[in-house]
Amino acid sequence: MPRQDVPQSVIALTISGPPVWCWQQHMRTVHCQQVATTQFHLVAMSASHEQYMRQALTEAKKSPPKPTNFCVGALLVSPSSDPPVLETGYTLELPGNTHAEQCCFTKMANRFGVSEEEIGHHLPGDTVLYTTMEPCNLRLSGALPCADRILRINEGGKSGIRKVYIGVKEPEKFVGENEGRAKLEQAGIEVLHVPGMEEEILNVATAGHEKGG
């Protein structure tokens, strides 16, 4: 790979052993000699968690602001797939009072001509979910909460979603304390926080809400 094509993200350098992580800047200065003389392969890694979370936030921004909703964005990602982003979704993308994760799952189901609970059969084994806000555990509309949708996919499919990356916890505005994270963790799903975008995510999420109240 020509030097100028090396992406800005992290790259992995394997020199007869486990991958050594180094930044591009580092590569150019410290490891250039080594690169020239040692058998190695250079692997452009898939985007970082921050990049995926930012893409989920871009989805969230498409959501029409409403006082009764949080504008949330979600992605289904399989890091080993090409392209890695399998599906996207945002709040109210599909007709009805639809949530971001739900839209992701429904769009995937439609693409494969199966029901939502069957999409696990079509998900690569390394599929993870990125969502700007913790998946909901209670919906005032009575619709199935997104945490339950994730569990249902895992029960119905051969693989499923084993990790959920979240940008922020759900604020206690509509339904009180959200137990979505606890429910997922009890079912053996890892819930991981991607820090650094909380303020931006909450600004987008509450775009349609009355401010200062």
The C-alpha atoms of residue 44 and residue 74 are separated, in whole angstroms, by 24
Nearer to Zn ion, 142 or 213 (CB): 142
Q: Of the ranges 28-36, 40-48, 61-69, 129-137, which one interacts with Zn ion (CB under 5 A)? A: 129-137
Nearer to Zn ion, 74 or 77 (CB): 74
Q: Provide the minimum distance between the beta carbon of 96 and Zn ion in the complex, in angstroms, as a whole number.
A: 12
- Does the protein bind Zn ion through residue 161 (CB under 5 A)? no
User: Of 7, 101, 102, which Cα lies nearest the Cα of 56?
Assistant: 101
Q: Active site includes 118?
A: no
Is residue 154 within 8 Å of 160, Cβ to Cβ? yes
Nearer to Zn ion, 126 or 179 (CB): 179
Is residue 71 within 8 Å of 88, Cβ to Cβ? no
Q: Which two tokens stand for residue 206?
A: 């509450």
Is residue 94 within 8 Å of 107, Cβ to Cβ? yes
- Does the protein bind Zn ion through residue 99 (CB under 5 A)? yes
- Does the protein bind Zn ion through residue 136 (CB under 5 A)? yes
| Longest Cα separation, the chain | 64
Nearer to Zn ion, 136 or 194 (CB): 136
- Does the protein bind Zn ion through residue 146 (CB under 5 A)? yes
The C-alpha atoms of residue 110 and residue 118 are separated, in whole angstroms, by 11
Reading phi first (left if > 0) and then psi (alpha if -120 to 50, else beta), residue 201 is in alpha
Q: Of the ranges 44-52, 118-126, 138-146, 151-159, which one interacts with Zn ion (CB under 5 A)? A: 138-146
Catalytic residue among 101, 116, 117, 134: 101
Contacts with Zn ion by CB under 5 A: the residue count is 3
Q: Which residues form the catalytic set? A: 101
Positions that interact with Zn ion (CB under 5 A): 99, 136, 146
